[in-house]
Structure 1
Amino acid sequence: MGNWISTWPSGPGDAALPALLCLPPAGAGCQQFRAWAPALAGIGQVYGVQLPGRENRWREPMPRTFDEAVEAIAGELRPVVAAGRRLVVFGHSFGGLLGYEIARRVRPAALVVSACRAPGHWDGAGRGIVEDDEELDKLFDTAGLDPAFLDEDTRALMVAMLRKDAVLSLSYTHSPGAPLAVPVHAWRAGGDDTVTAEDLAGWAAVTTAAFRVHRVEGGHHAVLRRPETLLEHLAGLLRDDAAVPAGTA
C-alpha cells in the first residue's frame, strides 16, 4: 500500500471490505499480523504498520519525532477512509499509543488497544529501555525471551529496534484536546506488570463514546500469542455487530 502500511490480500473483493489497521509493539515489525488475514477473510482486510528500522525497512532511518511517524501513517490511511470503508484501529503496547494518535486524525469506527497505558500515563515511558540494560532484560522476559538463549547478533538487532522505538516514545507529549467520538476497547492481561489497572482505566477519558475493558490471562503479550478471542472481537467490530463478542468487563 505504501512505505508505512502493508497489506496481505486474502481474496477477491478485499478493497471493498472494512479495514483493520494493526500496529505492533515496540521493537517489532508488522509481518506477525499477516497470519490474521485468513481468519478475517471476507470480513475485513488487514493492514499492518511498518516503522523504519525493521523487516523490509531495516535500512531506513527512524522518524525524528513521534508526531512525524503518526502524520506519515495517517497520510497513507486517509484514502481508505475517504473511500467510505469502515476502519478499525488496533494497537498493542507502544502500537496502541500510535493507534490513538492516528485515530485522532482519521476517525475510525473503533479504537482497540491492548497492554497499553492511556496517553496521559506515557510521560517518560521508555526511558529505562534507553538507559538501563537491566530494564531491557526485563522486557525480553516479558516477551517470553531469555537473553541467554539469543545469539549475539539477534539480541543486538532486537536491542537496537527496542531502543529506537523507546527514543521515539520519549518524544511523545500528550495534548488532550477534544476527546475521540468513537468507541474505545482496552484489553489487559492478568500477569502483565507493565500496565496497571489505573493505566488502563485512563482510556475512559479519551472518548465521549463507549469505553469497555476486556480481560484475558497470560502476561503482557497474551493477546498476540493467543489472538483467537481478540480476532473474534475485531471481526465483530468490522461487521459492526450490535453485540461485540469477547470477555468484556
Structure 2
Amino acid sequence: MPCIVWRSEEELRKYFRDQLSTAGPEAEENGNAANTPHLHGGGSNGATVNGEAQLPAARQAVMQPSCGTVAMSPTAARVAAAASEGGPTGPSTGKAAAACLRPDVLSRMRILAFHSAGNAEDMWTSEGTGVRRSPSPLLEWCRSSDVEMLAVQMPGRGSRAREPFITTAQAAARELLPVVQPLLESGVPYAVLSHSFGTWICFELLRAVRRAGLPLPRIWCLSAMPYPDVPYSLRPWRQQRALGDADFQEEVRGWDVNEVVFTPDMWQLYEPILRADCTVFDEYELQPDDPYKYDARQAADADSVAGLAPLEPFDFPIEAFWGNTDRRVRSELVAPWARYTRAGFRLTEVAGNHLWPINNREAKTAWLNQVVQAMNQAVLLTKK
C-alpha cells in the first residue's frame, strides 16, 4: 500500500536528481550482487552532552552479499575500522561491515523497522525540517533511552535508486537474514516495527529467523496490512500487472497518495517503484510451515479467518493498528493477525487514513506514543 514522503513537488524532484547523481557508477557495477535490503539509521543528529558528541538515535549499516560497506556514527565507524584489514581509510569489506553489527555499540535494545510501499527508510529515521518537521516520539525515545533504530532500505529507491528491485517478500527475507543475523545473535533484545507493505516482508523475515533458530523479537508492532493468508478474493486492491497507466494511477490514489505524485515528472519517477512494491503484495502467497498440520482447504475459505493460522503461532506479542478512514485496510482485515501469536494481541484504531504516518501529524504522534508504550512494556526493562 503506497506511502509517499511529505515533500513539495520541487523538493521531490530535487531529491531524486540528487539521488541519481550520487548513486554513481558503483551502483551500476554492483548490479544484482548489490540487490540486498540495507539497514539505515536515523535522520536525526546526535545530541551533545558536556561538549562531547553522542551517538545519534541510530547508525547506518549498508550491507551487500559480496562486499559490505558501512556509513555510521563516528563511534561505530571506529569499531568497524578496527576490524578492517585496510584500517580506518582502507577498503570497505564484508568484515568491516560485520564489525559494525557487533554488540560493541552502546545500545540497550534495537528496533528493526520496515517501510511501506513507495517509501524509504526515512519514513522511520527522519523527522523532516522547517515547517514540514513532524517530531517523532519514537526517535525521541530512541535518543533518550539508548535504543537503536535500524530501518530497512529496499533497493530501487533513494541512495539505491540504480539497484534492481526485489519483488517478492520471500526473496527480501532471504537477503535480509544474513544482514541481521549478527544483530540478533548479539544478545541485545529487539523489537520489530512495520507499516503496510513492509509488514509481509517483516513477517517472512521473522519466519526465516525462527527457522534458523535465531532469537525472536520481544514484540512486533504492525499496522495497516491484512493478515498474510487473506484470500485473493478478499484483498482490497487490484493487481498492478494487469493495469494500464491510467488504471494504475487510479489504484494508487485509493491508498491516499498525495496528488503531487501523479504529475508527469513525478509519476515517471514513482511508477516503477510503486509497481515493483505492489508486485510484492499482489502476488504474495503464504506457504504453510511443513511440520505444522494445517488443512489447506481452510486457507481458501473466507469464513476460516477465525480458525488456526497456517503456521505455528509466534511466542511474542503483536500490537496491530488500523486507520479508521483507511479506504482499503479495514479492521476486519487486520484483526486476524491475532491467530499468529500465542503471547498476546491487541488491535488499536488510529484516527487517520492509510497514510497516517505521512500525512497526519496528530495521528502519527498518538500512534508512535502507543508504539513506544508497547515496546517499553515488552522490552525496555530487559538489560543486556
Question: Which category describes the TM-score, using the shorter chain as reference length?
Answer: 0.7 to 0.9
Query: For 1:129, which of 219, 240, 258 is the aligned residue?
Result: 240
Query: 1:65-106 CA deviation, whole Å, 9 max, x = no partner?
Result: 321111212321221221111211111111111122222233
Report the CA distance between 1:135 and its aligned residue: 4.4
> How many correspondences in the alignment?
241
State whether structure 2 residue 153 is matched by structure 1 residue 153: no
Q: Cα distance 1:78–1:237, how it changes in 2: closer, same or farther (>3 A)?
A: farther
Give yes or no for the alignment of 1:54 onto 2:157: yes
Q: Does 1:32 align with 2:123?
A: yes
Are 1:114 and 1:223, in contact at CA under 8 Å, matched by a contact in 2? no
Could you say what secondary structure the match of 2:239 adopts? helix
- Contact 2:167–2:276 at 8 Å: present in 1 too? no
Return closer, same or farther for 1:39/1:150 CA change in 2, 3 Å cut-off.
farther
Deviations 1:190-242 (Å, cap 9, x if unpaired)? 11121122211110111111010011112111144332122222323443369
**Alignment partner, residue 133 of structure 2:** none
1:71 to 164, 174, 179: 174
Amino acid at match of 1:156: Q
3-state SS of the aligned residue for 1:169?
Answer: helix
What residue is the counterpart of 1:195 in the other structure? 329
Query: Structure 1 pair 75/171, CA: closer, same or farther in 2 (3 Å)?
Result: farther
Indicate the SS of the match to 1:180: coil
1:7 aligns with 2:119: no
Q: Which moved more, 1:109-118 or 1:172-181?
A: 172-181
CA distance in 2, matches of 1:24, 1:57: 14
1-side partners of 2:378 and 2:311: how far apart? 30
Relative to 1, partners in 2 of residues 1:232 and 1:25: Cα closer, same or farther, differing over 3 Å? same
User: Equivalent residue of 1:67, what SS?
Assistant: helix
> In the alignment, is the contact (CA less than 8 A) between 1:22 and 1:33 conserved in 2?
yes
Q: Deviations over 1:45-77 (max 9, x none)?
A: 111111111001111112363211112123212
Cα RMSD between the aligned structures? 2.6
SS at match of 2:192: strand
Q: What displacement does 1:143 show?
A: 2.9
- Residue 220 of structure 1 pairs with residue 322 of structure 2: no
Any gaps of 5 or more consecutive residues in structure 2?
Answer: 1-35, 47-53, 59-104, 127-135, 210-215, 289-309, 380-384
- Whole-angstrom CA distance in 1 between matches of 2:177 and 2:329: 26
1:103 is the counterpart of 2:103: no
Contact 2:142/2:148 (8 A) holds in 1: yes
Distance between the aligned counterparts of 1:78 and 1:237, measured in 2?
24
Partner of 1:247: none
Cα distance in 1 between the residues matched to 2:262 and 2:192: 32
Shift of 1:150: 4.2
Aligned residue for 1:195, secondary structure, equals: coil
* Larger Rg computed on CA atoms: 2
